Amino acid sequence: MSFDGRLLSNINVLAAIVHSGSFARAAEAMNMTPSGVSRAVSRLEAGIGVRLFDRTTRAVTLTDEGRRLYEEISPLLAGIADAVSLASGAASAVNGRLRVNVDPFFSGRMLAPHLTTFLERYPGLSLELTVRDQLGDLVSEGFDIAVRFGEPPSSSLIARKLLETHTVTVASPDYIQKHGYPRTPADLIHHFCIQMRSSMTGLPLEWAYSSDGKAFPVKIVSRLLVNEAGTLLAACLAGAGIARIKARGVEDLIEKGRLVALLTDWSGEHFQLYALYPSRHLPPAKVRAFIDFVVDMLRSEPNKPGGNDVDQITG
C-alpha cells in the first residue's frame, strides 16, 4: 500500500475512536462530522484490506486485526506528538490525556492521596483513572497504561515490576478487646475472619502461612465474604473480624493504632505491583512520567511496622 497524505489522517481517526469509545465522540474530538469519521475508517479499511471495527448500535470494538494495527501505531503516534511538542519549544512533552487502568486497592490506598501532586507537576496533562477488578483489554479499550497487582498476563503488553509487598493479618483494637489475640495461625479457627472472593476465579481466597520456608494452609471461620479490598478494610476497621490485606497501604493505620498487626512471626503471601503498557517500543512521555511518578511515590513512603517482611521497590 503506497503512502499518501490521507493515511496519517485516517490513522489519527482510528486512534481517536479507540480513545473516545465511539464514532460520535471521535468526531467531536477531531472537529469532524460523524459521517466524515465513518468515511475515514472506510478508506483505511479499504486501503489495508481488512475490517478494523465491529460496529453495533450499542458499541464499537476493535477486531483482532484492528487491535494489532493499533498496537503498532499507538507508540508511533505518541512519538510524533512528543517530537512536535519538543520542536515547538514546549516546556515539557508531557501533555494531552492519559488513560490509566488501576487496581482498586492501589488506587484507593496508595495512589489517590498523591494525585494532586501529579497533576500539579504536569499542568498540560489530563488524567482519566479507571478503577476496576479486572485488567480487561488495554489496547481495544484505549488505555495508555495499567498499574495492577498480580502476575502480568501472557500477552504483548510490556510489564515493568514496581513493587513487591507482603500481606499482613490485622484486626481492629475493638475486635481484639472483645475476642482476644490469635497466637498461632491455627487459632484462627476460633475467630471471625473476613474473606475475599477472587476476582479471577470467583471463589473465596484461602489463607496460608509459611514458617521456616514451609507453607501451610489454615482453616478459618468466615461469616463475611467480600469481593473488594475497600470493603474488606472498612469492615475490619469497624471490628467485623480479622483480615488479610496487603501491607503496603495499611502501614499508616497500624502506626496510628487503628489496626493491630497479628501473627507477625508467620509470613503470608507476596504480591507484585506491575506497570503494563501496550507497546514494544519506548513508551510515550506521558506514560514514562506516570511510571516515574509512581516509583518516586513508593520510594518516598518508608516502610512501616506491621510484618516481618520488607517491601521492595523495583522500579
Domain 1-93 in this protein, CATH class = mainly alpha
In order of 18, 48, 57, 67, 76, the CA distances from 53 in angstroms are 10, 13, 13, 9, 20
At residue 304's C-alpha, the angle toward residues 300 and 305, to 5°, is: 170
Percentage of the chain exceeding pLDDT 90: 34
Per-residue pLDDT at 310: 43
Question: Model confidence at 168, in pLDDT bands (50, 70, 90)?
Answer: very high
The amino acid present at 176, given as its one-letter code, is I
Per-residue pLDDT at 306: 36
Least reliable range by pLDDT among 58-62, 107-111, 302-306: 302-306
Per-residue pLDDT at 139: 78
Per-residue pLDDT at 150: 83
HEC-encoded secondary structure of 34-66: HHHHHHHHHHHHHHHCCCCEEECCCCEEECHHH
Q: Does residue 225 register a pLDDT over 70?
A: yes
Q: What is the DSSP letter of 291?
A: H
Distance CA 308, CA 297 (A): 22
Q: Does residue 302 register a pLDDT over 70?
A: no
Per-residue pLDDT at 84: 66
Q: Does residue 190 register a pLDDT over 50?
A: yes
- Over residues 92-104, the mean pLDDT reads 84
Least reliable range by pLDDT among 5-9, 68-72, 195-199: 5-9
Could you state, in order of their start, the residue ranges of all structural domains in the chain? 1-93, 97-315
- Model-level pTM greater than 0.75? no
Q: Does residue 285 register a pLDDT over 80?
A: yes
Taking domain 97-315, whether its CATH number is 3.20.190.10 is answered by no
Q: Does residue 76 register a pLDDT over 80?
A: no
Distance CA 9, CA 144 (A): 21
pLDDT tens digits for range 23-50:
888 888 888 888 888 888 888 888 888 8
Distance CA 148, CA 113 (A): 17
Distance CA 206, CA 183 (A): 19
Question: Which H or E element spans position 16?
Answer: helix 5-20
Q: Does residue 260 register a pLDDT over 90?
A: yes
Cα 66 to chain centroid, rounded: 24
Per-residue pLDDT at 282: 62
- Over residues 269-290, the mean pLDDT reads 82
Percentage of the chain exceeding pLDDT 70: 87
Q: Does residue 87 register a pLDDT over 70?
A: no
Cα 236 to chain centroid, rounded: 24
Q: Does residue 313 register a pLDDT over 70?
A: no
* Average confidence score pLDDT of the chain: 84
pLDDT tens digits for range 113-167:
999 999 999 998 999 999 988 888 887 788 889 999 888 776 778 889 998 888 9
